[in-house]
Amino acid sequence: MNWLRGTGVRAALILGLLLVGSAHAQVAKAPGFKVGEGRLHPYLELDGRFDSLVGFFERDSGGNPIASSELILHVRPGVKFDLDTPSTFVGFNGAAEYLWYTGLLSPGSRGLSRFQANVALDTKFNRDGAAEVNLGDNLVRSDRTQNPALGVGAISLYNGVYLAVPIHPGGRALEVTPKVSWGVEFFEALLPGLVPFCTAGQASCDPSTVPQSNYSNLNFGLNARWKFLPKTALIVDVNADWRTYFTNAAAAKVLFRAQGGIAGLISPRIAVTLLAGYGGDFTNNSIHTVIGTAEFSYTVTEQSRIAVGYARNVIAVPLLGSMMDDRGYLRGGLGLLGGRLMLNAQVSLDYFSFLAQPTAATTAPASSVRNDVLLSLSAGPTVTVTSWFDVSANYTFTFRSSKGTDVTNLPSLNFPRHEALLRLNFHY
């Protein structure tokens, strides 16, 4: 035991010397492999995570289901490619991931072991011309879905592609960007019976109902920015969603949003974003409301920043209809020791107001059928040891509470959740 304790002290001293020695010098960037004018960077991330809510595999003395904890190991190999020239930008990041639920704390969770993926491509062409072309795609398979109505126990496959054409003539003080994007998402339950107290047909947990949320979303948008100061712009943003569902054509929705305001620096250290406008669901007169964003950020140093903000938006929600999301947040990052040590933290609070989908036979406004509160707190450090290796740790606390028909006591939507993660990242 003394030998172990001495080893720990020596390791701490070595790490401390590495960090102190870097206080006056930045870490060299991973070189990667040269491919044409770009660089290819392979990487491997190894995670160990504790999750206090992977399902409900246990019962208390009264036979009631209780949240089950588990230790999960992640193996995530991937590759990044970056090319950045005055005329062309290409950024690619693709990773496959295997999650191994060890069963050490909850043997029943072993069936949750699975493959996930995240692949993103962003390109920009003719950047130095009057008309630029941006094209990109994002493919994600994850249990953190795009559907805010779902809780614990579901996984989705999402793919979104976009095309934008920024037009910036002359000195680029004015930029107008028409954009179109298309996304599809397919849902499935992770394990049958994973969520207890789920009634037949319950949209948020019934394995036979979850796939009915599968949707297609086509978005058309137009964004205009006028830089009346070197780092400050007036903004107008207009966009519309056409949401359709594969299993219920009658549930199609059209959402419209329009915002305007200002974004940029108001001093060398203070940046502000102030946008306000209108958001509406034009399907059966469901919702018409004010939307907007207000954010203030302060740059403490080149590597340290803090921001506080509030945002309100209108979102289409599978099966339920529409939703208003009121979100407040505070986030910050602190860089120490020449950037080798980064401390990041964020806290956010969302209030979801779900509105029922009216029937085609009525023009009455939709009524609120459910209200959720989602609190999230996350904090952790990242230590850059060398140009090819860094270590990070993170703790996340999530609390969710749902009130409404069939969800008030549903465990998958009413819970506290603790997640602790340690990550080793090897990259070249």
Domain range list for the chain: 2-427
- Which residues, including other chains, have CB under 8 Å from residue 45's CB and lie 6 or more apart? 74, 75, 76, 77, 78, 95, 423, 424, 425, 426
Q: Give the residue-averaged pLDDT of 103-119.
A: 94
* 16 pLDDT more than 50: no
Total-model pTM: 0.85
**CA pair distance 137, 183, nearest whole angstrom:** 9
Determine the pLDDT at residue 366.
Answer: 54
User: What are the structure tokens assigned to 317, written together?
Assistant: 């929600």
For 342-379, the pLDDT digits (tens) are 999 999 999 999 886 554 444 445 556 789 999 999 99
Determine the pLDDT at residue 303.
Answer: 87
Q: Which CATH class is domain 2-427?
A: mainly beta
Exposure letters 9-30 (e unless 16+ CB within 10 A, then b): eeeeeeeeeebeebeeeeeeeb
Helices (H), 71-142: none
Determine the pLDDT at residue 150.
Answer: 83
Among 20-29, 42-51, 97-106, 201-210, whose mean pLDDT is lowest? 20-29
Closest by CA to 142, choosing from 117, 112, 120, is 117
User: Would you place residue 105 in the very low, low, confident or very high pLDDT band (cuts 50, 70, 90)?
Assistant: very high
Closest by CA to 319, choosing from 211, 394, 169, is 211
Share of the chain above pLDDT 70, in %: 90
Determine the pLDDT at residue 358.
Answer: 52
| Mean pLDDT computed over every residue of the chain | 88
Q: Give the residue-averaged pLDDT of 310-329.
A: 92
In this structure, the number of other CB atoms found within 10 A of the CB of residue 398 comes to 16
Determine the pLDDT at residue 338.
Answer: 85
Determine the pLDDT at residue 348.
Answer: 98
Determine the pLDDT at residue 216.
Answer: 96
Give 278 or 60, the one with higher predicted confidence. 278
* 209 pLDDT more than 50: yes
* 113 pLDDT more than 70: yes
Q: Give the residue-averaged pLDDT of 308-314.
A: 97
User: Would you place residue 147 in the very low, low, confident or very high pLDDT band (cuts 50, 70, 90)?
Assistant: confident
Q: How far is CA 305 from the centre of its chain?
A: 20
Output the furthest CA–CA distance in the chain (Å, rounded).
77
Q: How far is CA 202 from the centre of its chain?
A: 25
266 phi/psi in degrees, rounded to 5: -110, -5
* 97 pLDDT more than 60: yes
For 17-59, the pLDDT digits (tens) are 444 444 444 567 788 999 999 999 999 999 999 999 998 888 7
Provide the residue type at 350 as one letter. Answer: D
Determine the pLDDT at residue 357.
Answer: 57
**CA pair distance 20, 25, nearest whole angstrom:** 10
For 116-137, the pLDDT digits (tens) are 999 999 999 999 999 999 999 9
